[in-house]
Structure formats: C-alpha cells, structure tokens
Amino acid sequence: MNLPVLLIALGALFLVGLAADAIGHRTKLPRVTVLLACGIAVGGAGLDLIPAELQALYDVLSVVALTMVAFILGSSLTGQVLVRHGRAILSVSVLIVLVTMGLVAAGLWLLGVPAPVALVLGAIATATDPAATQDAIRQSGQRGPFVDLVKGIVAIDDAWGLITFSLAVVFAMGLNGAADWHLLADAGWEIGGAVLIGAVIGLPAAFLTGRLQKGEPLLTEALGLVFLTAGLSIWAEVSFLLAGMTVGAVIANTAPHHERAFHEIEHIQWPFMILFFLLAGASLDLTLLGQLGMIGGAYIALRIGARLVGGWLGGALAGATPAHRPYYGLALLPQAGVAVGMALIAAREFPDWADLILGLTIATTVVFELIGPVTTLWAIRKVQDTPGP
C-alpha cells in the first residue's frame, strides 16, 4: 500500500467534501449531487485521480455510512410518529411500491420487453436510496409531518422492496417455466433475520446507551453499535440496512435517554458520507448513459410517473393534505445500491437477459442518483410552509 498517496487522497477528498457542503448551503443544489459530480470528475469517467488503495476501501465505507443512515432513519420511527403518521407511512409506502412495479412492468412489456424481464425490472424500480434521501432531509433543515412521513417511508421501503422483488422473480421464473421458491425463503430470512439481529443488539443497547458522560465514551459507543450491527448482518447474510433501522427503532422506543447516542452518530456520520458519495460518483460509468436507448428512457419516465401517481394515491388513501400529495413521489426518486443488488440477483437467475437487466439498472441508477437528491430537496422545500395532515 502506498501510504502517502492514500493519506493525501483522503485529505483532498475531505476538503472536497467541505467545499461541497459550502456549495450546498449557498445554493439550492443538494450536497449529495455536488459530491457525486465531484466524484465523477476525479474518478474513472473524468481525471482518474482516485488511487486504487482508496477505491479498495469503498465497500467498507459504504457499509459503515449506510448503517449509520439506517440507525438515524430507524430512530425516527418512534411511537409518537407511528401514532400520528403510521397510517400515512403504510399507505404511501405500499402504494408507491405497487404502482411503481405495476406501471413500469406494464409499460416495458408494451414496448416489447419480454414479460418476465419487464416484471423483474418493475420490481427493481421500487428500490430507493436511503442515504441520499436522508442527507437531503438533513440539508434542508426542515421538520414537520411531510419530513416525518418521508423518513418513515424510507425506513421501511427496503422491506417492501425485498418482498416485492422476491415475489416478482419467482413469478417471472414461473412464466419462464422454472419457478424457484427458495428465493422467497431467502427474502424471509433477509428481512426476519435483520429484525432479529436488530432486536438482539437494540434491546441491551437501549438500556446502556446514553448513560455515559458526554465525550469520547459516547463516540466509542456509537461506533461500536454501528460496526457490530453491520458486521453481524453481513455474517448472517441479512440486510444491514434493515438491521440498523431496527436497532435505531428499538432504542428510540425503549430508551428515553437515547438522543445522546444518536447525536453522536449524526456527528460522526458526515465524514463517512463524504467518502461514500465521492467514491460512489467515481465508480459511476457515464458511458452507460449513451446506451440507454428507448427502453432506458421509457424506464426513467415510467418510474418517475409511477412514483408521482403512487405517492398521490397513497396520500389520498391516508387522508394527507392535498397540497402535499404530489410531492411524496418526488421525494422518493433517489435510487442506488439496493437496485443494483437486485439486478445482480436477477441477472444470475436470468442469464439470457443479464446484459439487459444489469445494463439498464446501472445506467438508470446513474440518472436517479444525480437527479433524485435534487427532487427530494426541492419537494421538502416546496411543502415546508404548507400545513401538515
């Protein structure tokens, strides 16, 4: 390992993150988008300045950063929030998933995509990016019913997405004449096992967290919970995002003194997020955008339209303020790693269509990762002065 090069690169990226933060505060651009754009500029698609030693850290940094995001999102699911917004969270999240899958799958099928592939791509379209969404919320500095609802939806969105994707793959394989029901068992373990690990870690943590004095011990405590949750989840082959959210929700609901530990996670989260988004941008391959074609453009348009329709219908079903309903879908456009993970599984199950599934998903993820944080931040700012439900 070339240690001087690694340290210089880390120092430079942290300073880029500082600049992105400043730009985000002085403009209407999400700092996530600024970081991704900077990552593209210095990555393989641009100047190719990221050393291999730093690129090798991407997997670890992404897991740590996303687990921190999961903790904070899970902590937003308090009893008070669920009592006030539980119906809306459930209605909007379920309707957005169902409408997204239905419209995207039907639209692609009508354009000539084989039915099994269209069904799988529709399920992949349900995935979101909790990290970009949460950071846009944090940058906005806004609070209230709309923000609480978006946080709650993102917190449980992965669970609905995994269930929907697993059912879609099994059904698609059935259409192809080779249904494999073990995928449902895998999805059940990924969700149930994540909740189990989250509860096992969260319950004792709820008793212990926040009882130490302010300072370094609490920082150590927060890091210990994050790394322990992420490590055990990966070892058990369950979703570390759902496990982290479960830990956050358990602590938030069973420890009245929990805020101090979560404040520590918030304090240490941003440096990890800087590296995560910069390296994510550096890994994006912009040449894929030129290969989208009509099917890729249709997928993007269908997903955007489906999010808008699903968010409006879910808000209407929940009795949400009519002025808020058009913005739920826009706030939930970001899409990243979860979708790519689904695409990898689908490519393995459907090798004949692997190039289409992977190419389309990765290319459109680039688009949604760049425009999604912008629409999320815009939606939050648009409704900030509107009375909540």
Full DSSP string of 213-260? PSSHHHHHHHHHHHHHHHHHHHHHTS-HHHHHHHHHHHHHHH-TTTHH
- In the prediction, which pLDDT does 302 show? 93
> d(Cα 387, Cα 389) in Å, to the nearest integer?
7
Q: Which residue has the higher pLDDT, 273 or 333?
A: 333
- Nearest CA among 317, 329, 313 for reference residue 382: 329
pLDDT digits (tens, 9 = 90+) for 239-276: 888 888 888 888 888 876 556 666 677 777 778 878 87
- Nearest CA among 123, 334, 159 for reference residue 239: 159
- In the prediction, which pLDDT does 388 show? 47
Report whether pLDDT(326) > 70: yes
- In the prediction, which pLDDT does 348 show? 74
Are the beta carbons of 374 and 339 closer than 8 angstroms?
A: no
pLDDT, mean of residues 219-223:
79
Report whether pLDDT(215) > 50: no
Neighbours of 197 (CB within 10 A): 24
- In the prediction, which pLDDT does 304 show? 93
pLDDT digits (tens, 9 = 90+) for 30-72: 777 777 788 878 776 667 777 777 777 777 888 888 888 888 8
- In the prediction, which pLDDT does 41 show? 81
**Average pLDDT over the chain, rounded to an integer:** 79
Q: Which residue has the higher pLDDT, 83 or 16?
A: 16
Are the beta carbons of 383 and 306 closer than 8 angstroms?
A: no
**Largest pairwise CA distance in the chain:** 62
- Nearest CA among 270, 205, 263, 197 for reference residue 233: 197
- Nearest CA among 327, 310, 301 for reference residue 164: 310
Q: Which residue has the higher pLDDT, 303 or 129?
A: 303
Report whether pLDDT(213) > 60: no
- In the prediction, which pLDDT does 197 show? 92
The percentage of the chain sitting over the pLDDT mark of 70, rounded to a whole number, equals 86
**Three-class secondary structure of residue 357 per DSSP:** helix
Report whether pLDDT(214) > 70: no
> d(Cα 85, Cα 350) in Å, to the nearest integer?
39
Are the beta carbons of 362 and 288 closer than 8 angstroms?
A: yes
Of the spans 95-104, 160-169, 173-182, 367-376, which averages the highest pLDDT? 95-104
Report whether pLDDT(389) > 50: no
Q: Domain 60-383, CATH 1.20.1530.20 — does that match?
A: yes
- In the prediction, which pLDDT does 17 show? 79
Mean pLDDT check: name the lowest of 107-116, 282-291, 373-382: 282-291
**pTM for the predicted model, two decimal places:** 0.76
Q: Where in the chain is the domain with CATH 1.20.1530.20?
A: 60-383
Token digits of residue 225: 């919970």
pLDDT, mean of residues 195-224:
75
